[in-house]
Amino acid sequence: MKRILLTCSILLAACMARAAEPQHYMDIHAGAGVGSWGYTLNGGTTQAGNSYSAGAGYTWFFLPTVGLQTGLRATRISSYARLTGTIEYGPLSDYQGEQYIHRVTFADWREQQEAWLLEVPVGLRFKYFADDDSRAGLHAAVGVSMAVPVYATGHTTGSVTHTGRYDCWQLTLHDLPGRFMTESADQRSDIKSRLSAVNAMMYAEIGTAIRLGVRTQLIVSAYAQYSLTDFSAVKPADRTPIGFANANNGYTFMTEYKGLFGTDKAGSLTPWTAGLKLGLSIWPGRTDEQKKQLLLRLAAEFPDVLPCPPQPE
């Protein structure tokens, strides 16, 4: 029985020595670029912000050039929004029954929304080297990731002024605490963004793989992501008219400002990112030289099982 087990071990080692291509890799990467929440803003403008990504993964090549990959990564997405001008609501009735028009005037109101997403990607990875001696080859990947927001916040600058226009008296009221006043950005900091818990994003990347050694490849690629689902946790019918006044006076505005994501001025949230990625792909198996040395050691230890050991070149 012992002889059979030793024979099987040596045959397995011989098969490993003949394996010309490793079949699995451990991957680590970091990337940087731009990204946006991809929402429209009625009456304002939006622009992209910085985006970052880092993670680790595993790829199993079931064919010489095609493999399945998965892993875990963190991605930062941010957008900037800018509102200017005046929005009117009404006619409304005050606590005395008088009708008025409530005006909300934005003086260079800027808001940054950002979030960190924890993602689990699942997709296909492709590689191609012209021959075994090629220093560089093609690298590509495509798939879908499940993304969960783990941290989200917002920051504002500028000011918002509330006034009340009473046409019956041809009078505009302002600077009345609790009713018609001016709010500065420092009163609205650390805004929690209302984002859905689980989302799907499509990803793709293409670039080059550079051999650094028998085990290691350097991956340099361009990547892009685009959301397949709406990240907003607020349904369109539930979005609140923008305005920050006190509801005790009968106003129809939100009593707590939770960012533009929760207002009727923002459309659906379909974030995207794009940038450059740098990574290492590491094969954890034995090199051909290590396999040869293993066979030599086994042949020398058990000459009756493998009487003709391969000779070193």
pLDDT values of the chain reduced to their tens digit, one per residue, 313 residues: 444 444 445 444 444 444 445 578 999 999 999 999 988 888 788 999 999 999 999 999 999 899 999 999 999 999 998 888 888 877 887 778 888 888 888 888 888 889 999 999 999 999 999 887 889 999 999 999 999 999 888 888 888 888 889 988 889 988 877 677 777 766 555 566 778 889 999 999 999 999 998 789 999 999 999 999 999 888 877 777 776 554 444 444 555 566 778 777 888 889 999 999 999 999 886 555 555 655 666 566 666 655 554 555 5
Domain residue ranges of the chain, discontinuous segments joined by +: 1-21+286-313, 23-284
By the 8 A CB rule, do 241 and 89 touch? yes
- Torsion-angle region of 257 (φ positive above 0: left; ψ -120 to 50: alpha; else: beta): beta
CATH architecture of 23-284: Beta Barrel (2.40)
**The predicted structure's pLDDT at residue 145:** 97
Kindly tell me the sign of the dihedral angle through the C-alpha atoms of 21, 23, 29, 31: positive
Contacts (Cβ under 8 Å, ≥6 apart) of 253: 89, 102, 240, 241, 242, 243, 244, 245, 247
pTM of the model as a whole: 0.74
φ, ψ dihedrals at 306, nearest 5°: -130, 80
Residue 239, SS3? Answer: coil
CB-based burial of residue 119 (10 Å sphere; 0-12 exposed, 13-18 middle, 19+ buried)? buried
The secondary structure element, H or E, covering residue 83 is strand 66-93
**The predicted structure's pLDDT at residue 304:** 62
Tell me how long the chain is: 313
